[in-house]
């Protein structure tokens, strides 16, 4: 892919795609070339569509992975090669949209209580308390903690957007205790061996170990703490638009997805039957 790879990487950079997205997209196109053993610019529309079908039916990739692959191929053919969508169509696979599994407040408590290492506990507390993505929590700087306004600054989150989110009073107490012990200089949570941010995979392993010790069997990774943050705020009465800003969602529709998983919101609804002024009927 030599020259084509360079062109695609350039196109991704100038359009502001994240490093993670750039690596993933280039990998998809490289896999396509290996599958056909031909340069991808020599493939037909039918070839590419057949490859997407192969990912779905034979490799049985998850819906999100297939969508990402199709998005990468669209980018390559439409942006890098300049093909018109009307002439070279790559449909995005549609699949069932699953509701996220949500940790209850009691489960979050059990999970945090199961962590004895102070650094690990504060990491998970910060993830839940502020609704952070794993890529965001590992890159929090000491200077991002604003104890005067009780906010945490998230720099260049998903979509390369800065935002502010909540700084919990309880988390602040734990952060000050953590600071006295570990004395972080730039990054709040650093690698064990180097003064660089903790690797997201390490944070994920910390979560999985805590979940196992807590006896929690719900399937899912550390992102479940972000889901719990949003859902628990909704159940406490926080409006969707505020939660959208805290989470850094570009569209309020994404945040509104959590309305489907809030138990209290469902329980509080009144059936329309209960609002009808029906006359009583005498027994037969």
Q: Active site includes 223?
A: yes
Choosing from 133, 163, 227, 232, which is the catalytic residue? 133
Ramachandran assignment for 156, one of left (phi > 0), alpha (psi -120 to 50 degrees), beta (any other): left
| Strand ranges, E, within 67-199 | 145-146, 151-157, 161-166
Buried residues in 167-199 as b, exposed as e (16+ CB within 10 A): bbeebeebbeebeeeeebeebbbbeeeeeebbe
Q: Active site includes 258?
A: yes
Q: Active site includes 101?
A: no
Q: Active site includes 133?
A: yes
Choosing from 158, 205, 213, 257, which is the catalytic residue? 158
Choosing from 51, 77, 178, 258, which is the catalytic residue? 258
Q: Which two tokens stand for residue 264?
A: 């209290």
Q: How far apart are CA 28 and CA 67, in angstroms?
A: 11
In contact, 51 and 34? CB cutoff 8 Å? no
Q: Active site includes 269?
A: no
Choosing from 22, 141, 223, 257, which is the catalytic residue? 223
Place of tokens 């059936």: 271
In contact, 63 and 95? CB cutoff 8 Å? yes
Choosing from 121, 226, 227, 232, which is the catalytic residue? 226
Q: Active site includes 20?
A: no
Which residues are marked as active site?
133, 158, 223, 226, 249, 258
């Amino acid at each position: 892919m030599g020259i084509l790879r360079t062109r695609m990487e350039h196109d991704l950079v100038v359009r502001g795609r994240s490093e993670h997205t750039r690596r993933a997209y280039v990998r998809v196109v490289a896999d396509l070339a290996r599958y056909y053993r031909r340069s991808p610019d020599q493939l037909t529309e039918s070839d590419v569509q057949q490859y997407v079908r192969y990912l779905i039916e034979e490799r049985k990739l998850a819906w999100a992975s297939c969508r990402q692959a199709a998005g990468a191929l669209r980018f390559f053919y439409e942006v890098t090669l300049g093909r018109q969508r009307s002439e070279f169509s790559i449909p995005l696979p549609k699949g069932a949209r699953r509701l996220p599994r949500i940790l209850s407040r009691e489960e979050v408590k059990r999970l945090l209580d199961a962590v004895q290492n102070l650094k690990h506990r504060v990491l998970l507390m910060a993830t839940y308390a502020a609704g952070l993505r794993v890529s965001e929590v590992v890159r929090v700087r000491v200077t991002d903690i604003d104890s005067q306004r009780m906010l945490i600054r998230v720099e260049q989150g998903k979509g390369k957007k800065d935002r502010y989110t909540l700084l919990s009073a309880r988390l602040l107490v734990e952060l000050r205790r953590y600071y006295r012990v570990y004395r972080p200089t730039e990054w709040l949570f650093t690698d064990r061996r180097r003064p660089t941010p903790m690797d997201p995979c390490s944070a994920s392993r910390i979560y999985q170990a805590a979940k196992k010790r807590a006896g929690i069997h719900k399937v899912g990774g550390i992102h479940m703490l972000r889901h719990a943050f949003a859902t628990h705020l909704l159940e406490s009465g926080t409006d969707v638009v505020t939660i959208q800003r805290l989470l850094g969602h570009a569209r309020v529709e994404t945040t509104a997805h959590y309305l489907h998983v809030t138990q209290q919101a469902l329980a509080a609804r009144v059936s329309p039957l209960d609002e009808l002024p029906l006359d009583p009927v005498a027994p037969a």
